[in-house]
Amino acid sequence: MKKIVSISVGSSARDHSTRRAFLGEECEISRRGTDGDFDKAVELYKELDGKVDAFGAGGVEFFFQVEDKRYYFRDVKRFRDAVKISKFGDGNGVKGILEKRAFAALEKYLNEKEGRTLRGLPALHTSVVDRYSMGKAMVEAGLDVIFGDFMFALGLPIPIRTLGQARTLATLLLPAIVQMPFSWLYPLGSEQDKPPQPKWEKYYKHAQVLAGDFLFIRQYMPDDLSGKIIVTNTTTARNVEELRERNLHILVTVTPRLEGRSFGTNVMEATLLALMDKPQSEATKADFEDLINRIPLEPNIEVLN
């Protein structure tokens, strides 16, 4: 049996474990939150290193990637340094592949079930420098996208309207941002469990498609999401009910739902690494694509209202 553990600096209230067979290989997948405690996460990595086949880094990323440039987080480097034996993924290896598949699947669904297309629909992507590959997939799908990096990360009412502007922003700001404590940039621990505090309502109301990290979307979402579509990553059963109560039309997660929960891309990357019969240093994008297609790892499309 392959053992995959995602150690997250997020809330332990979101912990979950499941078993699932992929390509005939039984996998035990679990998530362990440290409630924002980076030191505890480091201890867990060291304690379990070599005892599990692969780790997922939850609630953090090793780096932001914007086109071909990578910006590595200083705060997260000690996680990578703590793991010497087990394979280790943060989701960056599979994000772009899974996000593109999610928008393709959503387009097909809308064409076949609702007689419409994503092309031309107004959309809000919470942070494109965080998920540049998702922003690119949205533009390629024909969505009319506003990128909310200034709003959701910096609290400034400045929309970004093109990928070119996003690349300029990344070049100017990311070299400094990745040196900051990760907790300044992203809700960790109990911050993830707080009720939504509606904000940027003009942009939520305008968008028919909301996309990005779920905690960013949830943090400021309004009480009424009628007719809207969310494309995101990790959602728990509780999150789904919360969205259903707000009259969300369709929820799309880029990873499949396992026992009521969609795991993050870090978990999926770790699982794929565990299934590969080769060292992580030899894993390629083609290897990931091959496994994703063979399993297959499909996005989850769920009509809530």
Note the pLDDT of residue 188: 67
Secondary structure E strands in the chain: 2-8, 16-22, 25-33, 54-58, 63-66, 69-72, 87-89, 122-125, 144-147, 209-211, 229-232, 250-253, 257-258, 261-262, 300-303
Strand order in the sheet with 16-22: 16-22, 25-33, 2-8, 54-58, 87-89
Spatial contact of 120 and 145, defined as CB atoms under 8 Å apart = no
Residues 29 and 173 in one domain: no
Residues 12 and 114 in one domain: no
Note the pLDDT of residue 16: 84
Residues 67 and 211 in one domain: no
Continuous segment of H or E residues that includes residue 105:
helix 95-109
Note the pLDDT of residue 4: 97
Residues 143 and 200 in one domain: yes
Residues 59 and 6 in one domain: yes
Note the pLDDT of residue 6: 94
pTM of the model: 0.90
Q: Which residues pair with 253 in a beta bridge?
A: 232, 300
Residue 305 lies in a domain: no
Residue 196's CATH number: 3.40.50
Only one residue has tokens 């993830």, namely: 192
Per the structure, how many domains does the chain have? 2
SS3 300: strand
Q: What is the DSSP letter of 255?
A: S
Question: What is the residue range of 65's domain?
Answer: 2-94+263-297
Residue 109 lies in a domain: yes
Rounded CA-CA distance 8/10 in Å is 5
Residue 33 lies in a domain: yes
What parts of the chain have a pLDDT lower than 70? 186-192, 259-261
